[in-house]
Structure 1
């Protein structure tokens, strides 16, 4: 269902000019929504930076990224699927978030060589589509056993 930016502005209690000043296009607005939806992953990455063990840091980010609430995962997927620009934006954001912990794990020798942040982001998306918490947990366990050395 398409909703006009004027309708969004009214619902937010803003004038259309205020909304358009900050978000000139619908895609600009949706990028901001994606930023907001991915803030829990950003917080998880910040927590992992404080862990001394690179494998534990990687495990923390991977496992926590795979258990976002189902509604948020659906929202991220729907927004990303709405345009090529938003799909690319979501992919880049996720890769940039997990790149440091991925590189740190590889540098320490605890992550399977050759895996990239794009690979890890794909694995997270694979887990996110599981239809129950039990299946997500099983998928996280199996994937971590396969990618961590």
Structure 2
């Protein structure tokens, strides 16, 4: 006999603990990257390690959830950039904002920069909204004649991953400089 009952909803305290774990993990990965230990995350979240493993059976499962959140953040940043009327300024806003996010988020840089997953549709971590918003940003800049014709999404993604690695080694003033040089290379 096959059960058609839907899974029981998570209890309120379990939902809160899960969110606390994710919030603590996000900060820990932003500061320490992939080397962060589950015990450190548990301590930051104020829960036991067993609580983490009840929600995330492996460290990779936790990282995967964070990747999905980071992609959603990127989609929101791209949507914000699309609200800027000038196509070039919208794209430039997205690049500068992304550079700042990457500079302060070691875990995100490690995941996306080292292996070049940003916007990639074949990673198992897909955010259609980020992909579509980035595509729209590029299309608007192309239509306005402000973005090099030979830079498509693939090239943009690769260059953004390189920018992520560059800004990770830079101070705030250098980050702005590197983002501006990056943008000058994209501009027609």
Same fold (TM over 0.5): yes
Q: Which residue of 2 aligns with 1:105?
A: 141
CA contact (8 A) 2:100 2:175 kept: yes
What are the within-5 Å matches in structure 2 for residues 56-75 of structure 1?
Answer: 56-68=89-101, 70-72=103-105, 74-75=106-107
Q: Highest Rg: 1 or 2?
A: 2
What are the within-5 Å matches in structure 2 for residues 35-114 of structure 1?
Answer: 35-68=68-101, 70-72=103-105, 74-80=106-112, 87=115, 89-92=117-120, 96=131, 97-114=133-150
For the residues of structure 2 that align with 1:38 and 1:70, how far apart are their CA atoms? 16
Gaps of 5+ in 2: 1-34, 121-125
The alpha-carbon distance between structure 1 residues 139 and 81, as it changes in their structure 2 partners (threshold 3 A), is: closer
| RMSD between superposed Cα atoms in Å | 3.4
After TM superposition, the score normalised by the length of structure 1 is 0.69
CA shift for structure 1 position 48: 1.6
For the residues of structure 2 that align with 1:109 and 1:81, how far apart are their CA atoms? 28
Asked if 1:140 is matched to 2:172, the reply is no
CA shift for structure 1 position 80: 4.9
CA shift for structure 1 position 38: 3.7
More helix by share: 1
* Number of residue pairs the alignment of both structures matches: 139
After TM superposition, the score normalised by the length of structure 2 is 0.57
The alpha-carbon distance between structure 1 residues 115 and 11, as it changes in their structure 2 partners (threshold 3 A), is: farther
Q: Which residue of 2 aligns with 1:119?
A: 155
Gaps of 5+ in 1: none
CA shift for structure 1 position 45: 1.0
CA shift for structure 1 position 27: 4.4
The alpha-carbon distance between structure 1 residues 17 and 142, as it changes in their structure 2 partners (threshold 3 A), is: closer
